[in-house]
Amino acid sequence: MRASKLAAVALVPLLLAPLARAADPERGARLYARYCAGCHGPDGQGGAHTFMPHAENLTRKGYIELLPDDYLATVIREGGLAVGKSSYMPAWGGTIAEEDIANIVAHIRRLGAR
Q: Quick one: DSSP state of residue 94?
A: T
Identity at 94, one-letter amino acid code: G
How many angstroms separate the first and last alpha carbons of the chain? 52
User: Is this structure's pTM higher than 0.85?
Assistant: no
Residue 49 has pLDDT above 50, yes or no: yes
pLDDT on residue 61: 87
Average pLDDT over residues 3-16: 45
Domains of the chain as residue ranges with CATH? 19-113 (1.10.760.10)
pLDDT on residue 94: 96
Q: What is the pLDDT of residues 67-83, one digit of tens each?
A: 999 999 999 999 999 99
